[in-house]
Amino acid sequence: YFRARSGTFSQKCAWGTLSVQDPKEDPKLEFEAKYVELNPLGEGGCGSVFNGYRKSDKLVVAIKHIPNENIYCTHFDESGRELSVEVAVMLKLQSGTSNSASSKAPITLLDWYVLPHELILVLERPMPASDLQSYIERRGGSLKESEAKIILKQLVEAAIHLQDEKIFHRDIKLENILIEMCSGTPRVRIIDFGLSCFTEKNSNHNTFYGTDCHIPPEWLFRYQYSAGPTTVWQLGIVLFECLHKKHFNSSSFIRRTIKINNRLSKDCKDFLKQCFTRDPKERPSLEQIHLHRCPNSLSFSCELTPSGGSHELN
């Protein structure tokens, strides 16, 4: 559920306004009265995630512990309180009225507890599901184009929804995408909003947050980046890693030591080339890649079964 493959760059920041609930009087006691924490699911650069359940109805949950020193991005509400931007963003997403599939892609925040030395998030835990990297590994290290396109279309639509809500995830990658496997077709869920922020369309950012090997070229050359073009670059990386048995590295790709497999279909190759346009001003928008033939030429005939029948999130 929570893994880190590479480093991040980060710095404390604050964005926007959002009203939230009052802090709990005894947050640790309230958490322990409501939830049971079980085995660890994983550990990354920002914190640890544990399996657990809600006592009242045995609902399976994921419990994320984030030490205060690892809360890189913060947010101030209308009363001036400093909050984790992860909490603020997830509450904002849950306050929307849309019932579309794309609006339901982000994992739901069920509860949050501010303790003296850490923040505890209680999150929805889809079952059965696995992160996209594990999902690919169980299928031999790459996906068929037909399956990758099903995942890609949902990802693009989820990214457009985040953009409409003025939210920039900043770290869309295999490890931050869950594949829910309760039916024959994989359902995409987005996790880990710890580096996200509120943003305006076309606003430039001058401090990089995210995975170092996924840095967009505009940051490498001009030390600035914006939400839309960066997200398009990251979606290209996700598709690349779905279809190639190798990890993507922006610097290596720019130096042409990593190349797109020429055996891919014309649509997939063109989609990747457009996402990897070096100049962000020439790179297509999320709306434009949503109309591209690649995510829209879907085949639902492939047999999609959870390999090994695992119900655990790794």
Q: What CATH number is given to the structural domain containing 250?
A: 1.10.510.10
| 76 and 58 inside one domain | yes
In a domain, 310, yes or no: no
- What integer pLDDT is reported at residue 175 of this predicted model? 96
Residue where a domain terminates, one of 77, 104, 124: 124
Rounded Cα–Cα distance for residues 172 and 187 (Å): 16
Rounded Cα–Cα distance for residues 131 and 101 (Å): 19
* 235, burial (CB in 10 Å: exposed 0-12, middle 13-18, buried 19+): buried
| 84 and 104 inside one domain | yes
| 146 and 287 inside one domain | yes
The answer to whether 171 is a known catalytic residue is yes
Bind-site residues for ATP: 41-49, 64, 124, 131
In a domain, 138, yes or no: yes
Bind-site residues: 41-49, 64, 124, 131
With a CB cutoff of 8 Å and minimum separation 6, the contacts of 24 are 30, 113, 114
| 235 and 165 inside one domain | yes
Look-up of token digits 């996790």: 191
In a domain, 6, yes or no: no
Furthest-apart CA pair in the chain: how many Å? 60
| 100 and 160 inside one domain | no
Residue where a domain terminates, one of 124, 155, 189: 124
Q: How many distinct structural domains can be found in the chain?
A: 2
Instruction: Specify the pTM.
Output: 0.86
In a domain, 307, yes or no: no
Catalytic residue among 26, 111, 164, 171: 171
In a domain, 76, yes or no: yes
* 222, burial (CB in 10 Å: exposed 0-12, middle 13-18, buried 19+): exposed
| Domain CATH code at residue 74 | 3.30.200.20
| 84 and 67 inside one domain | yes
- Residues of the chain below pLDDT 50: 1-24, 300-314
- What integer pLDDT is reported at residue 244 of this predicted model? 97
With beta carbons less than 8 A apart as the criterion, state whether 131 and 175 touch.
Answer: yes
Range of the domain at 118: 14-124
| 92 and 145 inside one domain | no
| 142 and 265 inside one domain | yes
- What integer pLDDT is reported at residue 45 of this predicted model? 67
Residue (of 295, 276, 101) closest to 180 by Cα position: 101
Planar angle of CA 298, 300, 306, nearest 5 degrees:
120
| 134 and 238 inside one domain | yes
| 78 and 149 inside one domain | no
| 203 and 290 inside one domain | yes
- What integer pLDDT is reported at residue 97 of this predicted model? 61
